[in-house]
Structure 1
């Protein structure tokens, strides 16, 4: 019986994707790879500095400037083509690779990602894992298919004494539990 591991999602079955692997025998994290070539735009392409300056000096912002900045500053979802299965009392923690911010200026905007056990093959979503990344470099960064984009670590979790019963089943994909 399978306990925890990775599978390729159906969309990428014939693409020859590499399943996540640990780089060394003592590594905690499994390296994830990009499923396709992907361009991550630099946050510096817009008038990001100008907006920071205006915010710092409490000056009014034009709505179109805010909209443009929000579109550019948003994280991009880099597809891996991989889904993960695990016991119900575990989650997969997604993290930066230590070299990603140094080499390419790529970071997870919230520091980590959490993939719950019920994200795998639920009714409305196959469970593909994406790495949410922001490019802090001054130039756009091209991520090539097969290039490492982050790492995942299987982790157990504990429940509080006051854990509520009657929780619903997951019915969607990325971000679906935060409605």
Structure 2
């Protein structure tokens, strides 16, 4: 089990810490810490604050992902999805939202806007080589394995 520390930034004492909405949920919902309602017009994108900063072990990353309900009902999703928060970042967690819907959408304080999923980051060593092992697929790219 990993421990992740969260700090509420000044003026955001009313904002809840990230929380799971069901026992087996993978993601922790994040709330908007906007000081006044933010209108996101069709095709518009905005960076939405959460009022929180965090510290997590070096073995983890936090991925910011869309909430399926907002995406389905209103076309609201995360533009950089999944967005990665590295373990050494200590600034405010913010969510880059975009409106792919047909109508303006208003984001209010405390609204659940995204989810945060924690993943273990493997330790990887990059090695340069002049030759790669062969595979059946080879260099076949986009659409190579079927429709």
* TM-score for both structures, normalised by structure 1: 0.64
Q: Give the match for residue 59 of structure 2.
A: 89
Separation of aligned partners in 1, 2:20 and 2:72? 20
For residue 25 of structure 1, report the CA deviation from its aligned partner: 1.4
The 4+ residue runs of structure 1 with deviation greater than 3 A are none
Q: Give the match for residue 30 of structure 2.
A: 32
What secondary structure sits across from 2:71 in the alignment?
A: helix
For residue 110 of structure 1, report the CA deviation from its aligned partner: 2.9
Consecutive unaligned residues of structure 1, counting only runs of 5 or more, are: 44-71, 121-126, 164-179
For residue 3 of structure 1, report the CA deviation from its aligned partner: 2.6
Q: Relative to total residues, which structure has the larger strand share, 1 or 2?
A: 2
What secondary structure sits across from 1:119 in the alignment?
A: coil
Separation of aligned partners in 2, 1:154 and 1:110? 16
Separation of aligned partners in 2, 1:32 and 1:144? 13
The answer to whether the aligner puts 1:145 opposite 2:136 as a matched pair is no
Deviations 1:97-151, CA, capped at 9 Å, x for gaps: 111111221111232110111112xxxxxx1111101101122110111110000
Separation of aligned partners in 2, 1:6 and 1:30? 13
* TM-score for both structures, normalised by structure 2: 0.77
Separation of aligned partners in 2, 1:142 and 1:8? 23
Q: CA RMSD in A?
A: 1.8
